[in-house]
Amino acid sequence: MPHEPFYYRVDFVRRRRVFFLLSLLLLAVGLISLAVRGLNLGVDFTSGTRIEVQVGKEFADAEVYALFREQHAPEPSQIAKTGSGTSTTLVLRYKGALSQDEETAVRQAVETHFGQGIHFAVSKIDPIVGRELARKAAYTLLIAAVGIVLYMSLRFEFRMAVSAIVSILNVVVTVIGIIAFLHVEVDVTFVTALLTIVGYSINDTVIIFDRIRENVRHHKLKRAEDVEAVVNQSIRQVFVRSVNTVATVLFAALALLVLGGEGLYLFSLTLSIGLVLGAYSSIFTAAQLWVEWRSWGIRRRKTAGAES
């Protein structure tokens, strides 16, 4: 007789109220952090100055910060790097508009360290642009949510669609709250990370709901216990696949977090947090919400039948 995996002995459904409570606690912490501290918006969402310098060689963020301190030049709020080799470009972001003297001081500091004659481009970011970016980001998330509901309603059922979107929105809001708590400066890559989290979360949730749908076809759900049994069976059957899918991407995100430098720090941090919460939500929130809703429907029908 083959050895039974440990997760086949785990009852994923019986303690669902505990899982709901944990999700609500994380959500509450996130909302409180968001209300008290707010997001630390970067220059992409506020007025600011962006300076691109084609330095043509590799550099460490720490040496650039040290350079500005030594030269008494304005210190950037964020440093990023694009390209590689002779195409390596240093990207400096400043909150607020730099004066002409400040721009000159930055140029002189960079040329002192990287040499004369390097290409130096300055662009100003207007607050209107930042507000437009934030508005479009909110619209993008809303459109994604509506699309998920429509897709899952057509492919599965409305209860699964609502359960999925509630769990995913819970993850998104919690991630935003955690980033607010950590007070990491937020730029446009934050929106990219959130949309990536939504994509992976819905993929994991669809896998679980697809297996639930297949198993429901072979079982008659006459009692709440039947619903719980089917969901437990379904989660156990796809548990390894779900964990492996998330773990593969999580390892890459953690590698970026450690080795990617400051330019990728926000994206990789947000993605790492979101992947963990998304996997938890798919298994312990979305499927369990459907269990509650479907079980409530069965109990209501029984009560209506008994009264008639």
| Per-residue pLDDT tens digits for 169-184 | 899 999 999 998 888 8
Domain-by-domain residue ranges, the chain? 12-41+129-307, 48-125
Q: Please tell me the predicted confidence (pLDDT) of residue 277.
A: 92
Q: Please tell me the predicted confidence (pLDDT) of residue 306.
A: 62
pLDDT tens-place string over residues 198-244:
888 888 888 888 888 888 887 777 777 888 888 888 888 888 888 88
Residue 285 tokens read as: 């929130």
- Answer whether residue 2 shows pLDDT above 60: no
Check for a shared fold between 12-41+129-307 and 48-125: no
Q: How far apart are CA 164 and CA 150, in angstroms?
A: 11
Q: Please tell me the predicted confidence (pLDDT) of residue 174.
A: 92
Distances (CA, A) of 269 to 16, 144, 199: 28, 22, 17
More confident residue, 144 or 105: 105
- The whole-model pTM stands at 0.78
Q: Please tell me the predicted confidence (pLDDT) of residue 308.
A: 54
- Answer whether residue 152 shows pLDDT above 90: no
2, HSE (Cβ side, Cα atoms, 13 Å)? 4
Q: How far apart are CA 42 and CA 78, in angstroms?
A: 8
Query: 74 CB contacts (<8 Å, ≥6 apart)?
Result: 68, 94, 98, 102, 105, 106
Q: Which of 7-16, 145-154, 274-283 is the most confident on average? A: 274-283
The mean pLDDT value of the chain amounts to 83
Q: Please tell me the predicted confidence (pLDDT) of residue 1.
A: 44
Tally of helices (H runs) and strands (E runs) in the chain: 9, 6
Q: How far apart are CA 129 and CA 44, in angstroms?
A: 8
May I ask the CATH class of domain 48-125?
A: alpha beta
Of 2.60.40.10, 1.20.1640.10, 1.10.3720.10, 3.40.50.1000, which CATH number belongs to 12-41+129-307? Answer: 1.20.1640.10
pLDDT tens-place string over residues 44-93:
777 778 888 888 888 888 888 888 888 888 888 888 777 777 778 888 88
